[in-house]
Amino acid sequence: MKSIAILFLGILNAAALRAEPSVAISADRIKNDVRILASDEFLGRGPGEPGEAKATAYIAEAFRAAGLQPAGENETWFQDVPLVRLDRQPGANLLLSLDGKVEPLQAGRNATLTLFNAGHTALQDAPLVFAGWGIVDPAKGWDAYDGVDMSGKIAVVLTNDPDFEAGKDLGFEEKRMVYAGRVGAKFTAAAKAGASGVLVIHEDAGASYPFSQLASGDALPTMVIQRCNRAT
């Protein structure tokens, strides 16, 4: 278990902000902050890694300079969050069977593997169920798993949401991805439906980042909330 500190931006009310912020918000300032935080000096900013402390300290100082007031533990900017670090052991492999033909998938080359549960994980002969966009959004009357038994199955989902390639507004804010279209939200929705895993078909345009970005960090450790007990 790893207990780390995260920035805690508390209640934003009249008392939390000065009448005139001491730091103006501008495109140039945002660009400068991104440039600094993305530099090699911050070592990737990984949770529990040396760069995390540098990054959180930088952002906390930016909050202070902007006139915000801390609302974390002991009147600080931080809140301890217990996390479990998952390190993948060598030898992880994926096999995809289509029409009797077995296709090996190489993690970090044409596939990436993300785990959310500690200990040994093995799925064998798990059937694939195409779930379209994999979205569950009651407000929009959309449930990819309505009436489908997903127990022990792998949900196969597309990137983004229905409006992305529809050419018209289907109620999902057109070209702007809704929250339910994010990969993390799809993982959660599939897990609640009883799925044992999710296979995301990556598209660079739909995800807004290249597959190489995922592949390059494929074997890096994963951090999950200590209470998390999902099998996704």
pLDDT in tens, 157-177: 999 988 888 877 777 877 788
pLDDT of residue 139: 86
Does residue 130 carry a pLDDT above 90?
yes
Structure tokens at 226: 């200590």
Distances (CA, A) of 17 to 13, 14, 70, 80, 227: 7, 6, 11, 24, 34
Q: Where are the domains of the chain?
A: 2-84, 94-225
Distance, in Å, from the CA atom of 149 to the CA atom of 101, rounded to the nearest integer, reads 26
Q: Please name every residue paired with 75 in a beta bridge, in sequence order, or none if there are none.
A: none
Q: What is the pLDDT of residue 22?
A: 55
How many beta carbons lie within 10 A of that of residue 220, not counting itself?
12
pLDDT classification of 14: cutoffs 50, 70, 90:
very low
Over residues 226-232, the mean pLDDT reads 52
Closest CA to 223 of 55, 51, 93, 49: 49
Q: Is the pLDDT at 9 greater than 80, yes or no? A: no
* Beta strands at 128-130 and 101-105: parallel, antiparallel or unpaired: unpaired
**pLDDT confidence of residue 220:** 79
Bridge partner residues of 107 (DSSP): 111
Query: What letter does residue 22 receive in the DSSP assignment?
Result: S
Find where tokens 């801390």 sit.
70
| 232: pLDDT strictly greater than 60 | no
pTM above the 0.75 mark? no
Average pLDDT, the chain: 82
In Å, what is the CA distance from 82 to each residue of 78, 227, 230?
Answer: 13, 9, 16
